[in-house]
Structure 1
Amino acid sequence: MADKIPKFSDLPLDKNGPHHNAWGLYGKDDELGTLNRLSDDIVKAAASEVQTGTRINIDWPLDAQGDLPFFGRQQFHKEVYQKPPRIVNDDVWTFNTQSSSQWDGLRHFGYQKEEKFYNGVTLDNIHGTNGVEKSNVNGIGAWAQQGICGRGILLDYHEWRTAQGREHHAFKTGNITADDLKAVAKDQGTEIKFGDILIIRSGYMDAYNKLSREEVEKERMKQPLTFTGIEQSDEIMEFLWTNFSAAGADHPSLEAWPTQKDYALHEVLLAGWGFPIGELFDLEALGAHCKKIGRWSFFLVSKPTNVPGGVASPPNAVAIF
């Protein structure tokens, strides 16, 4: 399938659309974007990663941020109640789908200047405003039908840069470059295959876990919020476009935040390519296991929640070795 993907230099495909878009590559009504790269053959081949049966969860608890989630998102609430006279319990959860581990869906972030989402979908299409019929187009439920399953690779930037003696400030705007990620893969001996699901351990979760409540409160009050992540650059975009079906990381924005260019990677990845963005994955146990066994590839199974028209979803993800 890799030979059927246009070169990065061929973008934008829709010459009347925004920069770097791949609109129409899989048809004008497509809602899977780069998940189309996870063909049956690619998923079948990825199953060879299962050798020991070891399974590692990479979801952060839904209530992990407590009452202090970043970006002003609502906290997770859980109500457990008995149903007398039976010895039976039910529970009710209310939460923002992006207050813990998440896949950003195609309704989340559009091209800001052009006001368009993947394949030209508008706010009117989503909200049913200005005389346009409301629809579930680009909803997260489309991804739930087959899940996000395939060969995952962990690029443990945090482990690599620590060994290099390089400084890293999780709560300051800073760049992880394409060259950095390629160097991590080389150092680990990790082969990158077309269609892989890229997982990046930046070191955010390690840093977050060391903060006091007062320090978290101070960080979340910043305007704008600042995080280290992958840089906004042609090199990063080409690296992602050429190799991967999706990408996730352990921090709140995947990319360096705020953007240092006149565009955000969220625009190009979500609205331009239909490329799933994962954030706030808990990669501490995964990183430790990969280091222990000397292998950073695995079979990844993620099942977004089947909510038609949903914006985002907990990943419900497990790495299987």
Structure 2
Amino acid sequence: MEKLPKFSDLPLNKADPHHSAWGLYGKDDQLGFLNRLTDDVVKEAAKEIQTGTRISLNWPLDAQGDLPFFGRQVFHKNVYQKPPRIVNDDVWTFNTQSSSQWDGLRHFGYQKEAKFYNGVTLDDIHGANKSNVNGIGAWAEKGIVGRGVLLDYHSWRIEQGISFNAFKTESIPLEHLKKVAEAQGVTFKFGDILIVRSGYMAAYNELPKQELAALSKVMPPTFAGVEQSEEMLEWIWNNFSAVSGDQPGFEAWPSQKDYMLHEVLLAGWGCPIGELFDLEALAAHCKTTSRYSFFVTSEPCNVPGGVASPPNILAIF
């Protein structure tokens, strides 16, 4: 494990936004928490591969059809022939956050300070001298590769008789996630890729289209997710290289605090946030095999200056 500053020492520079760790990996760093995925960490994670079983965590790009949440654009696919040859091409047009996604470092900044990771401003992204700084293409060079751990909160809370509405602003307490890990026999290693099955995808798959249409019009949208708390932030800081789940926002939405985890994770630390991962097949396999850790390989799209990307992610056992 690398020598980390204590969570209580954040922000590293007192003039920077709350909880931020700007400069930890250099003032021009664009990898953030992915610096935790060293060659040694990845080599150790590869020991998780024992059977060769591969499971995709990618929801289809068109899964939300014409009813994407957060007002995002729908997926369009145009397949066309190129006569006189017997040849087809296609063109896809979509919002990178309308299905499974990694949120990149251009997506969400500190709202009050109007700053992204390592102090990048909106002008740096949109202004006259704009560049590709903090673009998700920087993550494509080595990918997001390491040891993944599933915390199947959905199955655990059903066993415990705990009610849960994925489409309401309900917080998953850190205490519960730790109990899930204990029940599954999971221990964490520094640099793990955290994956939380909240039950959103299971709930979504059961709703008729008319209910989804009504929910898509709710503004602001409301979704369940992990709690916003100092304790949650400290747990993530001490353990993980990336966090993800099957829910639209990872954290409970809208925020229950005067800050959002998105601000600290993305803008403060450069921690990738994965959302809308399809975890149903993964959860079934983990339950059958009693194995909740595995090798993860994910290759964000190499788009210089991109904001987010489909994860192109596999769990390998």
Shorter-chain TM-score: which interval?
over 0.9
For residues 14 and 298 of structure 2, the distance between their equivalents in structure 1, rounded to whole angstroms, comes to 34
SS in 1 for 2:182: helix
For residues 177 and 139 of structure 1, the distance between their equivalents in structure 2, rounded to whole angstroms, comes to 32
SS in 1 for 2:156: helix
**Cα distance per residue 1:149-187 (max 9 Å; x no partner):** 000000000011111010010001011111111111000
SS in 1 for 2:168: coil
For residues 173 and 23 of structure 2, the distance between their equivalents in structure 1, rounded to whole angstroms, comes to 29
| Post-superposition offset of 1:220 | 1.1
Q: Tell me the residue number matched to 2:252.
A: 256
Match among 266, 272, 289 for residue 276 of structure 1: 272
Does residue 185 in structure 1 map to residue 184 in structure 2? no
Does residue 62 in structure 1 map to residue 58 in structure 2? no
The letter for the 1-side match of 2:125 is I
- C-alpha root-mean-square deviation of aligned residues, in Å? 0.6
**Cα distance per residue 1:279-319 (max 9 Å; x no partner):** 00000000000000000000000000000000000000000
For residues 187 and 20 of structure 2, the distance between their equivalents in structure 1, rounded to whole angstroms, comes to 27
Does residue 167 in structure 1 map to residue 166 in structure 2? no
Does residue 290 in structure 1 map to residue 282 in structure 2? no
TM-score, normalised with respect to structure 2: 0.99
Does residue 202 in structure 1 map to residue 201 in structure 2? no
Match among 206, 211, 217 for residue 215 of structure 1: 211
Gaps (5+ residues) in structure 1? none
Q: Tell me the residue number matched to 1:111.
A: 110
| Post-superposition offset of 1:61 | 0.2
Does residue 125 in structure 1 map to residue 124 in structure 2? yes
The letter for the 2-side match of 1:309 is G
Does residue 78 in structure 1 map to residue 77 in structure 2? yes
| Post-superposition offset of 1:31 | 0.2
For residues 286 and 213 of structure 2, the distance between their equivalents in structure 1, rounded to whole angstroms, comes to 33
**Cα distance per residue 1:72-103 (max 9 Å; x no partner):** 00000000011111111110000000000000
SS in 2 for 1:114: coil
| Matched pairs, number | 317
TM-score, normalised with respect to structure 1: 0.98
Match among 130, 145, 151 for residue 134 of structure 1: 130
| Post-superposition offset of 1:24 | 0.4
SS in 2 for 1:85: coil
Q: Tell me the residue number matched to 1:92.
A: 91
The letter for the 2-side match of 1:70 is F
Q: Tell me the residue number matched to 2:15.
A: 16
Q: Tell me the residue number matched to 2:37.
A: 38
For residues 137 and 115 of structure 1, the distance between their equivalents in structure 2, rounded to whole angstroms, comes to 16
| Post-superposition offset of 1:221 | 1.1
Gaps (5+ residues) in structure 2? none
| Post-superposition offset of 1:7 | 1.2
| Post-superposition offset of 1:190 | 0.7
SS in 2 for 1:253: coil
What's the % identity of the aligned pairs?
Answer: 72
For residues 28 and 14 of structure 2, the distance between their equivalents in structure 1, rounded to whole angstroms, comes to 18
Does residue 247 in structure 1 map to residue 243 in structure 2? yes
The letter for the 2-side match of 1:314 is P
Q: Tell me the residue number matched to 2:28.
A: 29
| Post-superposition offset of 1:251 | 0.8
After alignment, is 280-289 or 81-90 more displaced?
81-90
The letter for the 2-side match of 1:289 is H
For residues 26 and 181 of structure 1, the distance between their equivalents in structure 2, rounded to whole angstroms, comes to 29
The letter for the 2-side match of 1:247 is V
Moved over 4 A (4+): none
Match among 300, 308, 312 for residue 316 of structure 1: 312
